[in-house]
Every structure is written in C-alpha cells, then in structure tokens.
Structure 1
C-alpha cells in the first residue's frame, strides 16, 4: 500500500481543491488503505462519452485534477488558436470544472468561451457546430446519473460526440499530462449569457402549424426549463405547466430516487399534475435536457410511451414535413426495426448504427441528409429540410416536435395512442422490451458473452434462431463492438451487449406481429384489426423471450 500512499501524497501536492485535499488527508491519517485503493488504484477511463464518475478525490473520481488533466489532453489534440465552447449543467462542481477547463485551454493557446450560466446539452452541441472556427466543445454534465456523479463530454467541431480514434488519441494525451499545478493557465475568456442562437434554430423547425395542446412539463430538477419555455413561446405554443416541485435546478434531485424520466416514480408528480389540470400531454426532460420522455392519457390513468414508440411517431412526423430522396433516418441496432419499415414506406434512406448518438451521427454515406435519428433510450434528434438541428440528442427539439404531433392529432379528433395503432396496422406491431442483469463481478459478464459466442442457442422463447451475428467481428458491416445479435423466426430479434456505464448485461428484445382483421394496413385510423389483442400476445411473447435469454445467460 506504500505506492498508493505515495500517489495520494503526490495528489495532495498538486490538488487546487481544499475539499478533496482534506478528503485525501483524512484517509491518510486514518490509514484507510481500502478507501485509498478505491480512489487511487484505478482511474476514470476517457472514452467516446468522455469521462463520467463519482465526485471525490483521486484519479478514479471526478474532481478538479481529473478535469484539468482532461482539458490538457484535449488541448494537445487541438490546433493552437482554435475556438472551444464550454458549457455546464447545474450539478455539484460543474461550474468550477468549466472554469478550470477554460483556464487550461487558454493556457495552452486555445480560445475558450464559457456559458455564463448552466445550459442544456443540446444548446452547447448546437453552438459547437454553428461556427466554422469552433474546433471543439466541452459539456460538463453527468446527464441522468445519480447526484453524486459528474462528467465531461467532448464534441468535435461538427457538434457531434467524439468517436474512435479521437477518444484514444485524447486519452493518450491525458496520460502524458504531468502535474496540474505546473500547467500554464489563462484567464479572461468571453462568456455567453443566453441561448438565443439555439432558440432561433429550434423555433424555426418545420413541425407543422397545429399548436392547440396543453402540456405539463418537468425538467426533473435539471436545466431544461427556461430554454424549453422560451422555445415553446417562440414556436407559438401555449405555455406548458411546469411541475413546481421540480422546476428549479437542484443537484441533489430531492423528489426522485434517480433523475431519469424512464425510472419508476420519476414522473409521478408530473402525472398527478396533468390529471389535475386535464392536460393533453406530459413531457419530461432529463437533467441536462438531451432526452425526452412522453406520457399520454390512458384508460384508468396515464401511460409513458416507450422510447421506440416515440421514435416511430416522430419519424413519420418529420418525414411528413420534409421532402427529398436524399433524406436519411437512422437508429441503433438495439432500437426497434420499425424505423426501417417506415423509411421503406416513405421512400427514404435508412441506416443502423452502433449504440449511442456518436454513431447515429456517423450513419449513412455521401449524399445522405439525416433528418431524424433516435435511440430507444428516449434520445432523439429532429430535423427539417436542412437536416437535423443538433448532431446529438436534443430533448427540447424533440419536445417541440412531440407537442406539434399531438396537436395535429388533437385537431383531427385523435390521440397519440391512435397514431400508434395506425402504425401497428400499417407496419405490423413492433413490440420491444429489455432484460438487464446487474452483476457484482464484471468477469461474469465476460463469461456469459463467451458462452453465447461458443455455443449460441438454437431457439429462444419458442422461436428458432435463424441467424447469429457476432458484432465483435464486425458482422453486419458495423465497426467491431462487444455485442451479439440473434435473428429469430417470425421477425423477432434479440441483441445482447454489456452496458457501457453500469455493471450490467443488457438484452434488447423485439417481436413483430401482423395485425389481423378487416381494415389492417389502412393507416387511416380505422377500427379494423385487433391491435389490443396483438399487444397482449406480444407481451406474452416478449416474456417468453425474456425467460429464454435469462436461461441462456445463466447468470443466476
């Protein structure tokens, strides 16, 4: 343990933060070698999502030393004199981390600019791509992680997240950084005090002219409220009713167990307010407003739409309001296959990518104009005739588009569930679900993946496995990744991959069922075809797939 204590002492000597210095000194004084090993025995890895981790001292935590090293590594990969835009959310430490980033970048000969106040991630991403002389952007955020976390997200000059080999090159440059107290630091950089550039763009999206819709909105204690309200006002919508208990930014997220709109209970306050007000729609952003969740009235209460359901609805809405054979819609290999069917019906191009928006934005080829991209984890990027507005997830642009779509349906005497039924009749019911297995020992995940590769199951959930792709070999024409894809009889599919952020093995399940009955496929809102019966059958088949995969994984 002497090596760990030496590392801790070296950290103490360079750390500019009195709080984390006191944390390390207390551990040294107490002789808490286990806690020291947790902080100094590993380090946060810089990858295609940048950095993300728990706040605290040491290289395995998010802190000022970690951030300054990341900024110095990034600076080493950027052209001297380049302009870099820095934004931050309202989490603990975010403002300080943004200021430290700017100081290091300025000291390295770059031209940083920092937002004066917390901003949504899509505002930073849009700003980064809006100017030719911007070479990179940094967003200090941990998105929907727990309150104890923070993170560091890097965008290139095109406003998209970095992808290999950029991440490996920056990581290597970080490794070469010496003590941060010896880094040259600059001062006096410009600041931005509003989000007008983004607001002008998002309010100009071609989303139709229907506006009569009453929305209840929650930012989940994050930074989305002010920008979303201004965007709705500019676009001509009635002002959404904001959940008062969750309206103000609060890094402790006091009203939710986990600040993610997909988590059970996260929307309870919004749903209760919507029922009280008789609202048409509930919209929620996650804390940095790059994701968008939607709930609608349903028999006996409200129901949240799945990420795939929202994705299918938004895709057709965007395609109805755009034109051109060069249009591209894209999603990931773990999202519903419905988007491919929609693209074929509309005569536009379709592409699948690896998981994550960094890959969605690279989908397609020369001559493709990406007008819509989405991933099942409630992430969407909407566009118009010019293409997508933001080269990343955009929870505010998606909220505007959902509100416009719901207003169009309301004007026609219909609802979003009615539109989902239309899609089921037209394309077949594409029902999706997940199986996530959390483990304490990461080697269990590696073992399960190895077993499935060596001996793929012949059937899952009573369906024969018709083909098997080992995505680590680049099967399917995608960059190699640790994943497996099983195509089953009847159009069903299972994709298995380790989580990139948690100790989980995740399985993405899909079944596709035709809608039987007179009127199926008419797409005009008719009552033909028993969609509810198909949903009941799909739920049972997804449960059978879940049981089959659980047995195949053999993880207890």
Structure 2
C-alpha cells in the first residue's frame, strides 16, 4: 500500500480515538509520508518510534498488532506457555502504562496469563521478573534514552534476555501476517484482573531483585570503611532508576548518597534535560551542581529505563570528568578481576563478553588476568546467549559483559544491561580508589599507563524518513563496494563484513565469520586500530566507531581526529 492509502485507512476508521484523529488532521504531506510509508519494524532491541498516529509510529494499534503477533507465537508452541505467561513492565514515558495494559488485554483475549507491574520499573527488573516468575516471555514498554516524543516495545525470551534473532524473526512473521491492526481484539482489563488472568505485581518482585543484587559487590569490608560516608550523587533522570537504585545503594552500605531530587520524580517530558541520555555530559548539569555543593567523589546517572549508566568523577582541579562507556567498562573489568584475584575467587575459566564495537582495552585487561574475552554482535541479547551457553556447557564462568553504549551486566540473574548493578560497582570502585588516596580519574590513568592509551569515538549521523533510510543504504553500499584501503596512512589489514560473514585480509585471503549475519563493516588497521560502520537498529542513524591505541593520550586523540576527517570525506 502507498502511504496515502495507509493514511486513508486510518482516516476512515470510525472508532479512532480523538487524540489520534487530531494527530492525523494536523499532518502536513511530509509528516504524513513519514508516518505511513512503512511499518515500525523490530530492530536490535524491539521497536521504537515517535508516539502518534501512523503505521510508522508507536500507538495503541501498533502495540496491539505486535502483541497479537506474540500471542500467536505463544499459541503456536502448544505447551504450557500460555499458563506461564508474560511479564510486562513500563517506564515513565507518555502512554507507557496504557501500552502495557493494552498488551495485557490482547494476551488475555487469547487466554494468556500476564503479570503487569503496578507502576514504572527498570528494564533489568523486567528481565529478572521473566526468570523469577518462570514466564515464557516479557514485554518492556520503553524508548530507553530517546527524547520525550518517543516510546518503544521490547520483547524478552524465557531466559530473560531480549528475544534472539530466530525467535524475533518468527515473531516478525506473525506480526506481518496481521493485515488490520484495528481488528485486533482486546479483553476487558478490569474483568481479567478480577479473574486473575491479568495479575498486578510489584513490591514482592522488588524484594527478590534486591536480594539478588546484594551479591554484586565484592568487598563489603572496603565499603564499610571507605564507602559508608563517601559522597555519591545519583540521578535517575526522571525515570525508573529511582524505584531501586537508592535502596540498592543503601543496603550495600553506601550511606551518603545524595539524589538529585528535581530529577527523582517520574516525568514523561524529562523537563530538566534536553535528552535523558546518561551518555551526554549535558544530562549531568544538575548532578554536577549538587556534586559541587556536597563535595561528591562520583556522580552517576541512569537513563529512563535504568539499563544504561553514565559516570562522572572528581578531578584534582575540582571539575568532573565525564567517562566514556568504554572507560567505565575498562575500570569495572580491571576492578572485578583484581578484587576476585585478591580474594582468591577468580575462576580459572573466567570469561567476559563485549560487543564487536567496544574497546579492545578490556580484552587486554581480561587476558592479563588469564580470562577469556568473547566478542559478540551489538545487542545485549548476544551476551545473554553467551551466558546461556556457559551455563549449559559449564565451560566458562561469566564475570561481566558490556557494550560501549553504557550498558553493563555483572551478575547474570538478569539477562540484559543492568544500571542498578552497574551503579553498585561504580560506587565500590570509587571506595576502592578512595582507600588508596586516589580518584576514579587516577584509576583510568593507571590503566592507560599499564595497557596503552586506548581511545574511542562514536559518530552518530541522524538521517530520518524515507530519504534518510535510502542515504544510510547508499553509505553502507559505498563502503562495501569501494571501501578505504587505509586510514591515517595506515593499511587496512583485515576487512570484516558481518553481513556477508567474511573476513578478508590485505592479501585477499577470505575466512568465514561465525557470528550471525548483521549489517556491520569493520576495518582493522596494521597498528591495531579499527573503524566500524553500522546502521542503528533502533533509530534512523548510521554509526561510525573509531578505536585507536597510541603512545600517549595526545597521540591517540590525533589519530582519532585524522580518521574522523577521512570518514567525513569518504561519506560526502
């Protein structure tokens, strides 16, 4: 169907709610095209889009259609999956509670049990709930760290990880088979609450999660001595982190946590920040203000669904240093491995996992402790798959997994990024460096001196709408067909095409990659630096990753600047 036909189908639907009809009526032609030219698709983390009317927007009908697909997938299994049911959680965004209960209503129409949280909860708690309640699946209503006009829908498998490609493809097939989202039937929510088919959950699951999270910290004696009165500033950025982070820190023994109260209230408009993204230093403005007032050693921020964490650390001059996702991953890995080694609890088969676009510094750290690093595709579900594999084969002990995009998981009772766990480790890290008369900033410098000056930069280019999607395809095609042979006057020694599953050496030798197909290109240079390019799985963006290692910080930054200029010139 053309976008005009799709638009007309919506305009002709008599029962369309007034707020969606007003949205339709206010659309200019360009907006109309963008809202109806395609369907919102599942990416690396479910679907995410602007809230509003349209097939390429997120609204009750798109949510019903997705959940109808999930219900049909569950029915196709033919076992006790309907009784095991689906756990459902949601964040602080516009329409999040409505989308959660719409999902439950669709499932109930199929006789499928659901457990819906009474109020907003973090994504990692949803992952935990799927496992704890032995559900067949989970639904998380969130757009993570996107700006306020967005919302999203993530589906989890029975292991508590985001649905892996095979199941996600099957789900997509069921969803696409639903021609008319307006015809999806829903049960009466209040009636099904009374019948028990829709069960509202909350505090009992919180308690069980908090019991598990106690094991994240490694050295309670250190926390007792150096963490108890250490000033930590925490901000949930108007999101779900407030539900658990403060309690988790308190039970771990961090008694001097100061919360940015202006950002502790759930707010779908994220009024105090331009974007609720802890990757951005701008999101720390109020935390820095409070940090200076109380003399905080460390500032931590979680995004609206509390799966990502950002960190700033006090420097000698009194300013705060904003750490990159790779730096946080490196200092966490170093501490976790060192602390376990000192305690005599580091397993011989210790393993860490990271995405292929995350820093090799952590690989070097892992190897220095005799641990193995596993590289997986972008998307935490691939780390969850590795954890499952370790458990089934008993061949490795999982120590930590991370992605450069500020996602970390330490203990695998959750199978997705968990900012609550990460906050606890960052706090313990700060206490550790404090015990040595140092700061986390000093700790980063120590790592560079020991392992080399690794530096990374991610460049995200937003290309929206029909034209944008075509531009992204054209850029990927240009790299594939006529990719650079060198960067920064250094030869490309290996070109990996994860879509074609090939690794091509400079002499033309081709080997096969074992990872599942994914639209990613990675160029490794003769000096160990690398460049990767991939379209985002959740946003209309193309991403370029640059990773280098140099003799000094200045050397590394110069390499990055040169490579960035070359990428910009190549893309034009």
TM norm structure 1: 0.90
* 1:431 equivalenced with 2:484 (yes/no): no
Q: CA shift at 1:326, angstroms?
A: 2.7
Partner of 1:524: none
* Structure 2: distance between partners of 1:253 and 1:2: 34
* 1:368 equivalenced with 2:396 (yes/no): yes
* Structure 1: distance between partners of 2:397 and 2:452: 27
Partner of 2:52: 56
Q: Secondary structure at the match of 1:491?
A: coil
Question: 8 Å contact 1:468–1:485 — kept in the other structure?
Answer: yes
Q: CA shift at 1:2, angstroms?
A: 6.5
More off after superposition, 483-492 vs 94-103: 483-492
* 1:484 equivalenced with 2:521 (yes/no): yes
Query: 1:243-294 CA deviation, whole Å, 9 max, x = no partner?
Result: 1221211000111111101224111111121012111100000111110111
How many correspondences in the alignment? 524
* 1:412 equivalenced with 2:436 (yes/no): yes
Q: CA shift at 1:389, angstroms?
A: 3.2
Question: 8 Å contact 2:498–2:520 — kept in the other structure?
Answer: yes
* 1:90 equivalenced with 2:107 (yes/no): no
Query: 1:417-445 CA deviation, whole Å, 9 max, x = no partner?
Result: 22222222222221111233334533233
* Structure 2: distance between partners of 1:550 and 1:299: 36
* Structure 2: distance between partners of 1:5 and 1:381: 43
* 1:230 equivalenced with 2:253 (yes/no): no
Question: 8 Å contact 2:315–2:439 — kept in the other structure?
Answer: no
RMSD value over aligned CA atoms? 2.0
* Structure 1: distance between partners of 2:200 and 2:303: 25
2:200 corresponds, among 191, 202, 222, to 191
* 1:307 equivalenced with 2:325 (yes/no): yes
Question: 8 Å contact 2:46–2:538 — kept in the other structure?
Answer: no
Question: 8 Å contact 2:64–2:184 — kept in the other structure?
Answer: no
1:455 corresponds, among 470, 482, 489, to 482
Question: 8 Å contact 1:311–1:380 — kept in the other structure?
Answer: yes
Q: CA shift at 1:413, angstroms?
A: 1.4
2:542 corresponds, among 505, 508, 511, to 505
Q: CA shift at 1:149, angstroms?
A: 0.8
More off after superposition, 501-510 vs 351-360: 501-510
* Structure 1 pair 510–35 and aligned structure 2 pair: CA distance change class (3 A): closer
Q: CA shift at 1:102, angstroms?
A: 0.9
Q: Secondary structure at the match of 1:434?
A: strand
Question: 8 Å contact 1:84–1:111 — kept in the other structure?
Answer: yes
Partner of 2:115: 113
* Structure 1: distance between partners of 2:470 and 2:142: 29
Question: 8 Å contact 1:115–1:192 — kept in the other structure?
Answer: yes
Q: Secondary structure at the match of 2:378?
A: coil
Q: Secondary structure at the match of 1:204?
A: helix
Matches within 5 A, 1:71-86: 71-78=67-74, 79-86=81-88
Partner of 1:517: none
Matches within 5 A, 1:307-456: 307-319=325-337, 320-321=339-340, 322-363=345-386, 365=389, 366=393, 367-383=395-411, 388-439=412-463, 441-456=468-483
* Structure 1 pair 345–468 and aligned structure 2 pair: CA distance change class (3 A): same
* Structure 1 pair 3–437 and aligned structure 2 pair: CA distance change class (3 A): closer
* 1:125 equivalenced with 2:127 (yes/no): yes
Q: Secondary structure at the match of 1:467?
A: strand
* Structure 2: distance between partners of 1:466 and 1:215: 45
Query: 1:142-200 CA deviation, whole Å, 9 max, x = no partner?
Result: 11111111111110110000121211211121223345455252521211122112111
Q: Secondary structure at the match of 2:82?
A: coil
Query: 1:343-365 CA deviation, whole Å, 9 max, x = no partner?
Result: 21111221001112112222375
* Structure 2: distance between partners of 1:34 and 1:354: 35
* Structure 1 pair 373–51 and aligned structure 2 pair: CA distance change class (3 A): same
1:540 corresponds, among 558, 563, 567, to 558
Q: CA shift at 1:37, angstroms?
A: 3.6
Q: CA shift at 1:225, angstroms?
A: 1.5
* Structure 1: distance between partners of 2:4 and 2:355: 47
Q: CA shift at 1:9, angstroms?
A: 3.9
Q: Which runs of 5+ in 1 are unaligned?
A: 515-533
Runs of 4+ residues deviating >6 angstroms: none
More off after superposition, 46-55 vs 319-328: 319-328
Query: 1:26-64 CA deviation, whole Å, 9 max, x = no partner?
Result: 35xx9x655444333322113442221111112221111
Partner of 2:510: none
Bigger helix fraction: 2
Q: Secondary structure at the match of 2:352?
A: strand
Q: Which runs of 5+ in 2 are unaligned?
A: 75-80, 503-512
* Structure 2: distance between partners of 1:268 and 1:56: 30
* Structure 1 pair 503–98 and aligned structure 2 pair: CA distance change class (3 A): closer
* Structure 1 pair 182–486 and aligned structure 2 pair: CA distance change class (3 A): closer
* Structure 1: distance between partners of 2:86 and 2:352: 30
TM norm structure 2: 0.87
Q: Which has the higher contact order (CA 8 A, sep 6+)?
A: 2
Partner of 2:272: 255
* Structure 1: distance between partners of 2:113 and 2:402: 33
Question: 8 Å contact 2:45–2:379 — kept in the other structure?
Answer: no
Query: 1:318-338 CA deviation, whole Å, 9 max, x = no partner?
Result: 223342123220001110011
Question: 8 Å contact 2:44–2:379 — kept in the other structure?
Answer: no
Query: 1:2-33 CA deviation, whole Å, 9 max, x = no partner?
Result: 734541245x3454x44224434x35xx9x65
* 1:207 equivalenced with 2:218 (yes/no): yes
* Structure 2: distance between partners of 1:311 and 1:147: 28
Partner of 2:499: 472
Partner of 2:23: 23
Question: 8 Å contact 2:41–2:47 — kept in the other structure?
Answer: yes
More off after superposition, 450-459 vs 490-499: 450-459
